[in-house]
Structure 1
Amino acid sequence: MTNLIFLPILIPLIAGTMFVFFRKRLPLVRAGTQIATILNLVVTAFITYYVVENGTLVLQTGGWIAPYGIILVGDGLAMSLILTTNVIAVAAAFYAPYSLDKGREEFYFYTFFLILIGGVSGAFLTGDIFNLFVFFEVLLMASYGLIVLGGTRQQLRESIKYVLLNLFSSILFVTTVAFLYSVTGTVNMAQLSVRVGYVNQTGILTTIGILFFIVFATKGALFPLYFWMPNAYTKPPAVISALFGALLTKVGIYSIIRIFTLIFNGNIDYTHTFFILLAGFTLIFGVAGALSTNNIKLIIAYNIIPAIGFMIMGVGVFSSLSLSGSIYYLIHDMVIKAALFLLVGAVAIAAGTSDLRKISGLIKEYPFLGWMFFIAGVVLAGLPPFSGFIGKLQLLQSAFENGHYVIAIVGLITSLLILVSVMRIFILGFWGEGMELPQHTRSIRPLYFPISFLLVFSIVLGVGAEWFLPHIQQIGVDLTEPSVYIDAVLKE
Structure 2
Amino acid sequence: MTPQPSWVPVLIVLPTLVPIVAAALTLLLGRSPRIQRPVTVGAILTAFIASCVLLWLTNEYGTFAVNIGGWGDRGFPNGPLGITLVVDQLAALMLVVSTIVLLCVVVYAIGQGIRDGTTHQPVSIFLPTYLILTAGVCNAFLAGDLFNLFVSFEVLLASSFVLLTLGASAERVRAGASYVMVSMVSSLIFLSGIAFAYATTGTLNLAEMAARLDDVPDGTRNALYAVLLVAFGIKAAVFPLSSWLPDSYPTAPAPVTAVFAGLLTKVGVYAIVRAHTLLFPGGSLDTMLLIAGLATMLIGIFGAIAQSDIKRLLSFTLVSHIGYMVFGIALSSRFGLSAAIYYVAHHILVQTTLFLVVGLIERQAGSSSLRRLGGLMASPVLAALFLIPALNLGGIPPFSGFVGKVALLEAGVQDGSVLAWILVAGSVVTSLLTLYVVARVWTKGFWRPRADAPEGDLSDKAPSALLDESTDVAFDDRDDVGRMPAGMVAPTVVMVVAGLVLTLFAGPIFGFTDRAATDITDRGIYIEAVLGSDR
Measured against the shorter chain, the TM-score band is over 0.9
String of CA shifts for 1:339-362, please: whole Å, max 9, x gaps.
Answer: 011101111221111210110011
Q: Aligned partners of 1:13, 1:422: CA distance in 2, in Å? A: 38
Return the letter of the residue paired with 2:299. F
User: Which residue of structure 2 lines up, in the alignment, with residue 478 of structure 1?
Assistant: 519
Distance 1:247 1:126 in 2: 16
Deviations 1:115-134 (A, max 9, x none): 00100110100111111101
- For 2:393, which of 367, 371, 380 is the aligned residue? 380
Q: Distance in 2 between matches of 1:53 and 1:441?
A: 52
1:423 aligns with 2:439: yes
After TM superposition, the structure 1 stretch with the greater mean CA deviation from structure 2, 29-38 or 184-193, is 29-38
* Structure-2 change in CA distance of 1:104 and 1:83 (3 Å): farther
Which of the numbers 130, 142, 167 marks the counterpart of 1:125?
A: 142
Q: Which amino acid aligns with 2:293?
A: A
Distance of 1:229 and 1:455 partners within structure 2 = 24
d(CA) in 1 for partners of 2:219 and 2:415? 28
Deviation for aligned residue 1:23? 1.5
- Corresponding residue to 1:371 among 384, 394, 401: 384
TM-score by length of 1: 0.96
Asked whether the 8 Å contact 1:374–1:423 carries over to 2, the reply is: no
Residue 344 in structure 1 maps to residue 358 in structure 2: yes
In 2, Cα distance between equivalents of 1:357 and 1:386 = 29
Paired residue type of 1:444: M
2: distance between equivalents of 1:138 and 1:153? Answer: 24
How is 1:190-269 mapped onto 2 (pairs within 5 angstroms)?
190-199=207-216, 201-266=217-282, 268=283
Q: What SS does the corresponding residue of 1:232 show, helix, strand or coil?
A: helix
**Letter matched to residue 243 of structure 2:** F
Instruction: Structure 2 unaligned segments of length 5 or more: list them.
Output: 1-7, 74-78, 452-458, 461-475
Q: What is the Cα deviation at residue 34 of structure 1?
A: 1.7
2:127 counterpart residue number = 110
Residue aligning to 2:310: 296
Q: What is the distance in 2 between the residues matched to 1:19 and 1:439? A: 30
Q: Note the C-alpha offset of 1:238.
A: 0.6
Superposed displacement of residue 284, structure 1: 0.3
Separation of aligned partners in 2, 1:304 and 1:29: 32
Counterparts of 1:73-92 in structure 2 under 5 Å? 73-92=86-105
Structural mapping, 1:108-187, within 5 Å = 108-187=125-204
Please list every run of at least 4 consecutive aligned residues from structure 1 whose deviation after the TM superposition is greater than 4 angstroms. Answer: 434-440
TM-score w.r.t. the length of structure 2 is: 0.89
- Distance in 1 between residues matched to 2:221 and 2:285, nearest whole Å: 13
Amino acid at match of 1:467: P
Structure 1 unaligned runs (5+)?
Answer: none
How much identity, in percent, do the aligned residues show?
Answer: 33
CA distance in 1, matches of 2:500, 2:146: 35
Q: How many residues were matched structurally?
A: 488
Q: Is the 8 A contact 1:20 1:108 kept in 2?
A: yes
Structure 2 partner of 1:13? 20
Q: Is the 8 A contact 2:328 2:336 kept in 1?
A: yes
Q: C-alpha deviations, 1:177-211, integer Å up to 9, x for none? A: 01110111111111111111112x33222211111
Secondary structure in 2 matching 1:186: coil
- Structure with the higher helix share, 1 or 2: 1
Counterpart code for 2:198: Y
Q: Which moved more, 1:254-263 or 1:416-425?
A: 416-425
CA distance in 2, matches of 1:105, 1:382: 40
Moved more, 331-340 or 21-30: 21-30
Structure 1 residue 440: Cα displacement:
5.8
- The aligned amino acid for 1:310 is Y
Structure 2 residue aligned with 1:433: 449
What amino acid is aligned across from residue 84 of structure 1 in structure 2?
V
- What amino acid sits opposite 1:232 in the alignment? S
Q: CA deviation at 1:31?
A: 2.2
The 2-side partners of 1:401 and 1:342 are apart by 37
**Partners of 2:121 and 2:496 in 1: CA distance:** 27
CA shift at 1:60, angstroms? 1.7
Considering only CA atoms, is the larger Rg found in Structure 1 or Structure 2? 2
Kept in 2: contact 1:92–1:450 (CA 8 A): yes
Equivalent residue letter for 1:308: I
Residue in 2 aligned with 1:72?
85
Following superposition, the deviation at residue 173 of structure 1 comes to 0.9
Task: Name the residue aligned to 1:33.
Answer: 40
Q: Structure 2: which amino acid aligns with 1:218?
A: I
Aligned to 1:282: 296
* RMSD between aligned residues: 1.5
